[in-house]
Structure 1
Amino acid sequence: MAIITLTTDFGHKDHFVGAIKGTILSNLPEVSIVDISHAISPFNIQECAYILKNAYRSFPPGSVHIVGVDSELSPENQHIVVQVDGHYFVSANNGVISLITSEINPEKVMEIGIPNLSPSSFPMLNVFVQVACHIARGGKLEVIGKPFDALKELREFEPRITNNGNSISGNVIYIDNYGNVITNIQRSLFEAYRNGREFELIARTTKMKTIHTSYNDIVNFDLNKAQRKGPGDALALFNSAGYVELAIYKSDLNTVGGASTLLGLNYRDTVTINFL
């Protein structure tokens, strides 16, 4: 069965998501439509890329991923379809694809060109859906576009190695539903420069000397509950995507707060690791 996924900043109040799904099903009744997220912050390319990059690999090869963030057509924001890692991404050329494919080269990049198409403020419906359904039917990319070699690249959030290799300076790239703060510092980069040394992670006024591999690692279950760390305590860990994440153990962003509010961290803020 063909699979089409949706990732947008549309939210759930308006008709947009329903109209997209209805149009897809009208064209392909047997297709499986999967929502990855419709809660991307408006026009936040970095956030969109983080979510989609860490979700698409769980889908089978041949899946088609529609990306509906900053998708309106302009001379500097062309509509494209990219074949990479056995998957297809239908998107605008706004940099999101370069962030998703930063570690792997695309096999094909095509600029979408559908004849006699009227301009629209809702390109996901009248462009992206048509292209996604064409691909899901087994159609060739060459039918809906021409080769494109001007893929826009975004690299502004790469972590920086400073202090003669003794420090890594990264940025907050995503804040999740729990208020957990995800940085762009990957475990592979951390291990490459650590060389067995002790370290100190600094995020505003918070300092940590341990990075865990799970949330429960902060708890010493050999101690009684009054003596051990637990709910409300801050920790750093390598999350399931391999990035350094800052969290408050068993936090609730809507009540007591999460790492973003309690540690005072926002999108793009700096997090530094100093090797000692």
Structure 2
Amino acid sequence: MPKRKSTITLITDFGLQDGYVGVMKGVMVNINPSVSIIDISNTISAQDIFQAACVLNHSYNYFPKGTIHVVVVDPGVGSDRKILCLKTEDYLFLAPDNGVLSFIIAKEESPSIREITNDKFFLSKLSNTFHGRDIFAPVAAQLSKGVNYKELGDRIDKINEISLPKPILSPTGKLTAEIIYVDSFGNLITNVNKEVIDMMKIGEERVSITMGRRRINGICSSYTDVGDNEALAIFGSSGYLEISVNRGSAGDILKLKKGDKLVLGN
């Protein structure tokens, strides 16, 4: 089969100290020397499936059509958990069946999912602890060479999904939101997008955000709308409302974390 140029991305919790990511890339380049491999993140917190799902959701559609996104955050490695190939109109995703593809399932129309069982695409010797090297990497490389995803295994209809928290709008117009992700800058990313704010019919400049005893009035357009070390609300690059601190970490200063609730109102 002729080789062709393709792109593979990686999201893992392998870190940067050990050689795991490099070994995966070595396997892929051995199979397809012309493949382009891009690291989205290899510093996902250990076994944090939800964080990996968020990072994937915020990044996948900025890549060229045909990109193969590989996610190896896999606490169940070596167990009977499935390994999945999900195909959307523009992309392929390889991931364990642990909910890490939940955002993609919710967003993309009519995705096709197959369980990867065809071991002719695996390395000849399988480790129970490093399927990233032995299964994910060679399968991704074969797909990048033009192997049809249908050859990987049978189609399945049901996979494991994470329960995605949704903001709750009360009859009085108050919105209860939740912090779903804290990025490396300490920005607190919520589950509220602009569509939800529009539903409140208040206007961004008039929305108040209450976090315990703290309150922020209005949504800013720039970090510099407030002074140094002051808190603000802003729509971040992900399209979701974030609680930030100008020149500081909102997580550290406000003592808030993933799962904490916020109340939005007038």
Residue 261 (structure 1) shift: 0.9
Q: Which residue of 1 aligns with 2:222?
A: 214
Deviation track 1:117-152 (CA, whole Å, cap 9, x = no partner) reads 645211111111121112111111121111011122
Count of residue pairs the alignment pairs up: 256
| Percent identity for Structure 1 against Structure 2 | 29
1:74 aligns with 2:79: yes
Q: 2:66 aligns with which of 57, 62, 66?
A: 62
Distance 1:85-1:209 versus aligned 2 partners, 3 A rule: farther
Q: TM-score, normalised on structure 2?
A: 0.90
Q: Which residue of 2 aligns with 1:254?
A: none
Residue 193 (structure 1) shift: 2.1
Deviation track 1:39-87 (CA, whole Å, cap 9, x = no partner) reads 1111212211111111111100100011011261533x31000012411
1:243 aligns with 2:213: no
Distance 1:196-1:247 versus aligned 2 partners, 3 A rule: closer
**C-alpha distance in 1, partners of 2:7/2:172?**
44
Residue 165 (structure 1) shift: 5.5
CA-based RMSD = 1.8
Q: TM-score, normalised on structure 1?
A: 0.87
Q: Which residue of 1 aligns with 2:134?
A: 126
SS at match of 1:99: helix
Q: Which residue of 2 aligns with 1:264?
A: 255
Residue 199 (structure 1) shift: 2.8
Q: Which residue of 1 aligns with 2:211?
A: 203
Distance 1:46-1:65 versus aligned 2 partners, 3 A rule: same
Q: Which residue of 1 aligns with 2:106?
A: 102
Q: Which residue of 1 aligns with 2:228?
A: 231
Q: Which amino acid aligns with 1:47?
A: Q
CA contact (8 A) 2:190 2:240 kept: yes
CA contact (8 A) 1:179 1:260 kept: yes
Deviation track 1:84-137 (CA, whole Å, cap 9, x = no partner) reads 241111001111111233222343100000237645211111111121112111
1:38 aligns with 2:29: no
Distance 1:106-1:91 versus aligned 2 partners, 3 A rule: farther
Deviation track 1:178-200 (CA, whole Å, cap 9, x = no partner) reads 11111111121111223548432
CA contact (8 A) 1:99 1:155 kept: no
SS at match of 1:147: coil
Q: 1:194 aligns with which of 191, 201, 204?
A: 201
Q: 2:119 aligns with which of 115, 120, 124?
A: 115
Q: Which amino acid aligns with 1:74?
A: S
Q: 2:159 aligns with which of 134, 151, 158?
A: 151
**C-alpha distance in 2, partners of 1:73/1:212?**
47
SS at match of 2:8: strand
CA contact (8 A) 1:83 1:106 kept: no
CA contact (8 A) 2:32 2:142 kept: no
**C-alpha distance in 1, partners of 2:143/2:174?**
45
Q: 2:146 aligns with which of 126, 138, 143?
A: 138
**C-alpha distance in 2, partners of 1:44/1:213?**
31
CA contact (8 A) 2:72 2:95 kept: yes
**C-alpha distance in 2, partners of 1:35/1:131?**
17
Q: Which amino acid aligns with 2:237?
A: S
